[in-house]
Amino acid sequence: MLELLLCSLLTILPDYLYRRYGQGKRLGKEITLYSVWFELRWGIVTCLMLTIGLITVVFYNHPATTNATAFFRTIPILPEINGRVAEVHMDGVSGAVKQGEVIFRLDSAKQEAAVETARRKIAETEAAMVVARTDIAAAEGKIVEARSAYQQAVDELATKQEIYRRNPGAVATRDIEKLQVAVEGRQGTIDAATAAKAQAEAQLATLLPAQKASAEAELAQAEVDLSKTVVRAGVDGRVEQFTLRVGDVVNPLMRPAGVLIPEGAGRGRLQAGFGQVESQALSVGMVAEATCASKPWTIIPMVITGVQDYIAAGQVRSGEQLLEAQQVTRPGTVLAFLEPLYEGGFDGVTPGSSCIVNAYSSHHDEIVAPGTGTMRGLVLHAVDAVGLVHAMILRIQTLLYPIQTLVLGGH
């Protein structure tokens, strides 16, 4: 409507002034409701054509959208394991939390038993290591004893052999053979004691430390499982929709306990979806203006800080069916990220609020470039100037939005 009024000032009004003062025709006389089309046809046709052209230029070079929202991230409050709630540290359904603060705790009897079992295994292994040291000491004593017996048998054998050499009849051959067998037996006793000592040393040096390390790993795993029964806040923020109570069963796949909204989420940034036809006009650094439902009668100066390179409507995921293009019934939008131009400009806007955004193209650099012709410079000046029309429309929308919502909308 505003474009039509502006264009009529340049077309219909001059046509009427010519008819009135150039041809002497008056309203209600020569120019009536029935003859107005014939008398002002040139102005009306030119007005319609100029209005369509102006709307096209304005909306293409200065994109606008009502699909703008201050999106914010949410974190589901979920335990890593299934369990029954034993303690709840939240008083109501919502509240502020700090990072690391306990939100609720699951029943941990099973995990505590596993921790105690692992600790008992460690103690058992340490006791076995003490026993192994005792076995080593006992084996050393047996080695000393066996060596003494062996040495005694060797000495006795040597004595008998010497007597037999000097006087063969003084010692029986059978006694010498018995002593030789005894010496071999004493050597076997030494070997057995040495092997027992080696076995005890091997247990103390390799087997028992390995068993202790395994028990310590089981203890660490049990302590990790025990820590999973306590659910803490991962970031500073606010818990919402927390309806969990003692005795409830929580499943990490099916039943979250609530939602954690990180501190500052959705504040200071706006996401807007513009039409695909306007994608060529959108660029980083464009100045924009926004008005939000949660902050009425306020124009927020903003700047585009990023434009998403992909349109969400075209995304696909692998599955058992082929892609059918007709299933994409709604054309997607080009997502742009906006931030306030001045510090604190977004204060007071509630995260998730619906907004209206206008972006304004600027061709100043191209206009002042040496290679730009005069005609092209004038056209670009005109394109930048018509952005004023969009700015006026946004301000009218800002003024009327609360009235439309509260009065005409019946809310």
The Cα 115–Cα 111 span in angstroms is: 6
How much is the mean pLDDT over the chain? Answer: 82
Query: What integer pLDDT is reported at residue 175 of this predicted model?
Result: 65
Among candidate residues 354, 356, 332, the one with its CA nearest the CA of residue 278: 332
The tens digit of pLDDT for each residue in 2-58 reads 667 777 777 777 776 767 777 777 776 777 777 777 667 787 788 888 778 877 877
The tens digit of pLDDT for each residue in 259-318 reads 888 888 888 889 999 988 888 888 898 999 999 988 889 999 999 999 988 888 888 877
Query: What integer pLDDT is reported at residue 248 of this predicted model?
Result: 84
Query: What integer pLDDT is reported at residue 263 of this predicted model?
Result: 87
Among candidate residues 67, 65, 63, 72, the one with its CA nearest the CA of residue 349: 72
The tens digit of pLDDT for each residue in 231-249 reads 888 889 889 888 888 888 8
Query: What integer pLDDT is reported at residue 166 of this predicted model?
Result: 67
The tens digit of pLDDT for each residue in 51-78 reads 788 778 777 888 889 999 989 888 888 8
Query: What integer pLDDT is reported at residue 340 of this predicted model?
Result: 92
The Cα 173–Cα 289 span in angstroms is: 122
Q: List Cβ neighbours of 311 (8 Å cut-off, separation of 6 or more).
A: 276, 332, 333, 334
By DSSP bridging, strand 75-77 and strand 258-262 are: antiparallel
The Cα 198–Cα 126 span in angstroms is: 19
Query: What integer pLDDT is reported at residue 338 of this predicted model?
Result: 92
Distance spanning both ends of the chain, measured CA to CA: 26
Question: What's the predicted TM-score (pTM) here?
Answer: 0.69
Query: What integer pLDDT is reported at residue 271 of this predicted model?
Result: 92
